[in-house]
Chain A
């Protein structure tokens, strides 16, 4: 079975731009979570979706938004990019949610110049 896939792998943007990151969960998994990992730190929770509904939101500004599609894939959108948004963005899928094992994708490395 395929694991969690994310696209793109790497991305370079400039301040003020908008970015969309994509994630496809493991087949059969209905929950997708998004994390931001700044170099040298642990992943920080951004959003969790289950059955297309937002089930959790971390301490991130409204510039961050996400959605989950009927096929359980997900998009993370970030508007008005700041230099501080440069990070590895990780998507994790699980059967039902945050109490379950999280299976991480390879991540999208976002650099904001």
Chain B
């Protein structure tokens, strides 16, 4: 079945440093969605990318969708303590079981 892996599993940075998480799917995706989950909270939608090679920015966050539509990345410039949480990518599975498959997640810790 479809697998969505993310690296790294965990990253600890100092405030002001940059952060990147990478998402790789075993199958081609029609779109990729990114979610953020704060400790003790629930996943919150960040963005959806649809087109091959698409790049979208949200303030300090930059999202990319790979040319082959099998990978994606999220880059945060100059991290802040409010960026703490786990970042998940998620891709639709167009197989027999229509579902959204979440990645393994990258937990970001930011310290002063």
- B76-100: which residues lie under 8 A (CB-CB) from chain A? 88, 90, 92-93, 97-100
Partner of A101, one of B30, B33, B41, B93: B33
Stretch from B14-22, B56-64, B102-110 that touches the partner: B102-110
B contact residues, range: 20 to 34
Q: Is the CB of A97 within 8 A of B102?
A: no
Once the chains are docked, how many angstroms separate the CA of A107 from the CA of B110? 25
Once the chains are docked, how many angstroms separate the CA of A88 from the CA of B105? 16
* Shortest distance from the beta carbon of A19 to any chain B beta carbon, whole Å: 19
In this complex, what residue of A is CB-closest to B47? A101
Stretch from A10-18, A40-48, A61-69, A70-78 that touches the partner: A40-48
Once the chains are docked, how many angstroms separate the CA of A107 from the CA of B101? 18
Q: Is the CB of A107 within 8 A of B42?
A: yes
Asked if A45 meets B103 with Cβ closer than 8 Å, knowing A90-B43, A104-B42, A104-B43, the reply is no
Once the chains are docked, how many angstroms separate the CA of A59 from the CA of B103? 16
Q: Is the CB of A98 within 8 A of B43?
A: no
Q: Is the CB of B44 within 8 A of A56?
A: no
Residues of B within 8 A of A35 (CB): 102
Asked if A98 meets B103 with Cβ closer than 8 Å, knowing A103-B45, A105-B42, A106-B42, the reply is no
- B26-46: which residues lie under 8 A (CB-CB) from chain A? 30-31, 33, 35, 41-45
Question: Which residues of chain A have a CB within 8 Å of any CB of chain B?
Answer: 33, 35, 41-45, 48, 55-59, 88, 90, 97-99, 101-107
